[in-house]
């Protein structure tokens, strides 16, 4: 499944779930800040994607992509802010964002707001190519 096809599925899902205009959904739209999605909307979106593509995604997988191999304790400090090790990992995922500026207030919610349509399309694309190779 090509990235463009996956993007179309995600876009269509977002239009249905959030009632947003399809012109407002781009690869760089962030779910939280730009589109106003909340947790149930994401769950709803994931089921629509699974229905269209047969690819099952969970919210914990999304968290895992952001968190990498770091454990919850390694990733967040006691105040719920992303640790320096966590920051390094996230910065690799988001080369275009300057995270050092917001490092001190980068909690789970803020982190999620950095998650864009492109990231989700990549996750679905990776799973699609993996299942093809199996």
Which residue in the set 12, 50, 74, 122 belongs to the binding site for another protein (CB under 8 A)? 50
Q: Does 12 bind another protein (CB under 8 A)?
A: no
Euclidean distance between CA atoms 131 and 14, whole angstroms: 24
Bridge partners (DSSP) of residue 30 are 116
Closest approach, Cβ 114 to another protein, in A, equals: 25
Closest approach, Cβ 61 to another protein, in A, equals: 15
Q: Does 130 bind another protein (CB under 8 A)?
A: no
Residue 82: partners with Cβ closer than 8 Å, 6 or more residues away: 75, 76, 90, 103, 106, 107, 111
Q: How many residues bind another protein (CB under 8 A)?
A: 6
Bridge partners (DSSP) of residue 76 are 82
The binding site for another protein (CB under 8 A) comprises 40, 43-44, 47, 50-51
């Amino acid at each position: 499944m090509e990235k463009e096809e996956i993007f179309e599925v995600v876009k269509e899902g977002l239009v249905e779930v959030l009632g947003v205009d399809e012109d407002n959904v781009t690869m760089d739209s962030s779910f939280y800040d730009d589109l106003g999605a909340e947790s149930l909307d994401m769950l709803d979106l994931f089921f629509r994607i699974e229905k269209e593509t047969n690819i099952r995604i969970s919210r914990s997988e999304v968290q895992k992509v952001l968190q990498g191999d770091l454990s919850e304790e390694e990733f967040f400090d006691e105040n719920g802010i992303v640790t320096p090790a966590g920051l390094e990992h996230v910065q690799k995922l988001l080369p275009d964002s300057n995270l050092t500026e917001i490092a001190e207030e980068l909690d789970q919610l803020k982190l999620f707001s950095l998650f864009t349509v492109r990231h989700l399309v990549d996750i679905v694309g990776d799973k699609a190519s993996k299942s093809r190779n199996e």
